[in-house]
Amino acid sequence: MTLAEENYLKAIYHLENQSSNDVSTNALAEEMQTKASSVTDMIKKLAEKNMVSYIPYQGVSLSKAGRAYAVKVVRKHRLWEVFLLEKLNFSWDEVHDVAEQLEHIKSEKLTDKLDEFLGFPKVDPHGDPIPDKDGNFEKIDKTSLADAKEGSTYLCVGVDDSSNDFLKYLDANHISLGTTIKIIHKEPFDNSVKIKFNNVELVVSENVAKNLFLTAV
C-alpha cells in the first residue's frame, strides 16, 4: 500500500463512520481535498487490490481487508498522538499534522512497542478510541454539546473537527479533555449554548457545540 492509498482508505473509513451509506466520489474528493476524477482513478486501483468494493456511479465501501488496513492506520495515528502529547509535550492543536506523517511508518513491531511504551492507552487526545493490536476498540458513547440536556453536567471526552483553529479556540478557552461542563442554557434562536466549567461561564456557537463531544457524568 502506498502513502496515497493509505490516505484514501483512512478517508473512506472516516466517511463510512459518518453515515451508513456507501461513500460517494464527491464526498471522498472533498475529504481528500482533490478532484472527483482523481478519486475515481484511485478507487479503481483499490478495488483491484480488493481493499474496497466499488460499483460505478454507486459509490465505494471498504472490504474486510480494507477496513482492517484502515483501522491499522488509525491505530498508529492515535498512538502517535498520545506519544506527542504525553511524552513530547506537544499541545492539542500541534499533534495532528505530525501524526498524519507518523501514521504511515511501516513496522508492526514499532506500533506494538509504542503501544506498550504508552501503557496501552484506550483513547487518543481527541477522545477517539485506539484500536488494539487486533483492531478491536470500545465504542465510546458520546453526545455533542449541541445535543446535551440543559441543566445536566458532562465530561468533555472528544472533538470532531480537528482543525487547528478549533483546537486553538478550545485551548484559548481552557477547554480540554476531562473538563467538567454544565449546560446552563441553550438558546433556540441561534442554537448557541451557555456552559459553565472551572467556575467560568461561556457562550459557545452552534458550530463549536456540534464539534465538542461529551459524556454524561
Partner DNA sequence: AAGATTATTTAGATTTGTCTAAACTTTTAA
Partner DNA sequence: TTAAAAGTTTAGACAAATCTAAATAATCTT
| Residue 192 binds DNA (CB under 7 A) | no
**Applying CB under 8 A, which of residues 21, 50, 117, 133 lies at the interface with its own copies?**
117
Type of residue numbered 111: T
As measured in angstroms, the least distance from the Cβ of 100 to DNA is 13
In whole angstroms, what is the distance from residue 146 CA to residue 187 CA? Answer: 11
Asked if residue 216 lies in contact with residue 185, where contact means CB atoms within 8 angstroms, the answer is no
Question: CB of 22: closest distance to DNA in angstroms?
Answer: 9
Q: Site for its own copies (CB under 8 A): which residue of 47, 102, 140, 155?
A: 102
Q: By CB under 8 A, tell whether 120 contacts its own copies.
A: no
Q: Does 32 bind its own copies (CB under 8 A)?
A: no
Q: Is 110 in the site for its own copies (CB under 8 A)?
A: yes
Q: Which of 26, 48, 65, 106 binds its own copies (CB under 8 A)?
A: 106
Strands 52-55 and 143-144: unpaired
Number of chain positions touching its own copies (CB under 8 A) = 19
Among 94, 132, 161, 206, contact with its own copies (rule: CB under 8 A): 94
Angle at 123 between CA 185 and CA 191, to 5 degrees: 20
Q: Residues 6 or more apart from 70 whose CB is under 8 A from it?
A: 9, 10, 12, 13, 62
Sequence-ordered alpha helix ranges (H) in the chain: 3-16, 25-32, 36-48, 64-82, 95-102, 108-117, 164-172, 206-211
Any idea how long the chain is? Answer: 217
- What are the C-alpha distances in Å from 197 to residues 37, 147, 162, 164, 168? 47, 18, 22, 22, 18
Does 106 participate in binding DNA (rule CB under 7 A)? no
45 near DNA (CB under 7 A) = yes
The span from the CA of 95 to the CA of 88, in Å, is: 10
Residue 19 is a binding residue for DNA (CB under 7 A)? no
Cβ distance to DNA smaller for residue 50 or 152: 50
Per CB under 8 A, the segment of 96-104, 169-177, 178-186, 200-208 that binds its own copies is 96-104
The stretch among 19-27, 63-71, 87-95, 194-202 that binds DNA (CB under 7 A) is 19-27
CB 125, min distance to its own copies, A: 15
Cα 117 off chain centre by: 22
Q: Which residues bind DNA (CB under 7 A)?
A: 2-5, 24-27, 34-45, 54, 56-59
